[in-house]
Amino acid sequence: MTLLTDSVVRRHMKATSGFTLCDEAAALPAELALAEGEFVIGSYRNPEPWEGSMLVFTSSAIWTIEGGTSERIALKDIVGYESPGTKDGVTGLRVRTNDGFRFLRAAGTYGPYGKYKDFIALMRVLRAVTNSSAVPE
């Protein structure tokens, strides 16, 4: 699953407005307690007014970083996500895990006139790595 996750995240997040591939030169805003064998693929920083909110994609989890605090959401614990009814005004996705709901903020836009929404790329990543369909509202 590690290679699948790496490939899927790179493919779908690369065009978004705030995604950066991680390498030795890229510094994350928080120390992450990675599991053995887990590695960072890249990070997504939200635009204003949510610039303090960040997602970090690893080989086996998505980390949410908000104002210096971080939370790990293991990919194997994600059961599904809520698909928004519209693209307008959406700033992220509500993800259902074994422990309840979590919110993953992906509020940016890209493309001509901001036509494409970053949350849709995040939805594609979630769909691919969890093999789940949207959770009914």
- Residue-range domain boundaries for the chain: 2-130
DSSP character at residue 77: G
Query: pLDDT confidence of 79, banded at 50, 70, 90?
Result: very high
| Residue with tokens 């053995």, as numbered in its chain | 36
pLDDT at position 135:
39
- Residue 129: what are its φ and ψ, rounded to 5°? -80, -20
> Considering the domain 2-130 in this protein, what is its CATH number?
2.30.29
Token output for 2: 């590690």
Distance CA 113, CA 80 (A): 30
Cα separation of 60 and 64, whole Å?
14
pTM of the predicted structure, to 2 decimals: 0.87
Rounded-to-integer distance, Cα 102 and Cα 93, Å: 8
pLDDT of residue 26 exceeding 90: no
